[in-house]
Amino acid sequence: MSTTDQRWFHRRGALARGGWESVVDERTPDWEHTGIRVAEIAPGTTLELSDIGIERIVVPLSGSFDIVHTADGAATTTHLTGRASVFDGPTDVLYLSSDSTARLTGEGRVAIATSPTTVVKPSRRIPAAETPIELRGAGASSRQVHNFGTPLALDAARLIVCEVITPAENWSSYPPHKHDEHVPGRESRLEEIYYFEAAPVAGADAVGDAAFGMFSTYSSPAGEIDINAMVRSGDIALVPYGYHGPAVAAPGYDLYYLNVMAGPDPEREWLISDDPAHAWVRDTWKGQQIDSRLPFGNETEGQQ
C-alpha cells in the first residue's frame, strides 16, 4: 500500500513562517541546496529578503510587483509587470545576486526560488518575451515549459528554475526520472522542489478551490521516498532523491508547477535518468503531434 511521505509533501500553509505562506530553506529538516518562499501580497504590505549569501529568482504567479534591491550600498528598483495567472503565459522575472537584499511591494501572489551560495552573479531582469518556451513531449504527454532559469537562459551560480503547464488530462514529469547520482555527462545530483497550482479549464463552470492534479515519487538506490498525492494550489513537494513523476492534470483542470533545483555537483546542469521500466514510452511520441491547446498565453516569442 502506498502512502504520502509527510517529510516531503506539504499542504498549502503548512510551512508558513514570518508573513510567508510557505518557506522551504536550510531550516527545513534534511534539506540543503534549494528553497522557496511563497506569499500573497496585499497593497501596503512589504516583504523583506534581508539575508545575503542566497541567490534568488522572483517569480510573479499573479499580479505585479516592485522590488527594491540593494548591493554594496546601491539601491535599484525593478518593476515586474507579472500576469493575471500562471496559465496566462510566461512572466518577467528577476534574478537577484547573492550579495543583494531586497524589499517587495505590490499586489498578487509571488514565489521566490532560492539557493545558498557564496558565488556572486549579476542581478538581471528577464522579460517575458525573452523567456524560452519549450513544448515538450507529444499527444497526452504534451506540456509547456518556461525555461527562464535554466543554464542556457540564465547565468546563475547554482539555481536551475523553470515552470511547467500541463493541460487538463495530460501527463508531465513523465516518464518518471531521477537526478540523484553524479555520473559525468549522464546524470547530475539535484534537490528539487515542486510548487503546484491548479485551475478549472478556461470557460468551465467550476469552483477554483476544487481544482487538482496528481503527483507521484518513488524510491531509487539513493533513498526511500513515497509520495502519491492529490495536489492543489499552494501545495509543495520536496524531492531529495528518487524517481519523480508523473504529474497528472485531472480532466477539467489545468496543472502548473514551478520547479526549483540545485545540488552539490561542480557543474550547473540538469541531467536525468529515466526509470528503465518506463523509458520506452518516449519512443511512442514519434509521429504524434503536440497538443493543440499549447502554447498557453499570448507570449510565444522565443519558442523552442
Residue 301 forms part of a structural domain:
no
Question: What is the reported pLDDT for 186?
Answer: 97
Question: What is the reported pLDDT for 2?
Answer: 52
Question: What is the reported pLDDT for 202?
Answer: 87
Residue 291 forms part of a structural domain:
no
Question: What is the reported pLDDT for 26?
Answer: 93
Residue 87 forms part of a structural domain:
yes
Question: What is the reported pLDDT for 3?
Answer: 62
- pLDDT < 50 positions in the chain: 1, 299-304
CATH number at residue 117: 2.60.120.10
Give per-residue pLDDT as tens, 16-31. Answer: 999 999 999 999 999 9
Residue 258 forms part of a structural domain:
yes
Please, are residues 96 and 108 in contact by the beta-carbon 8 Å criterion? no
Residue 236 forms part of a structural domain:
yes
Give per-residue pLDDT as tens, 197-212. Answer: 999 998 888 876 899 9
Look at the chain and report how many structural domains it folds into.
1
Residue 219 structural domain = 9-285
Q: Which has the closest alpha carbon to 164: 41, 271, 261? A: 261
Residue 151 forms part of a structural domain:
yes
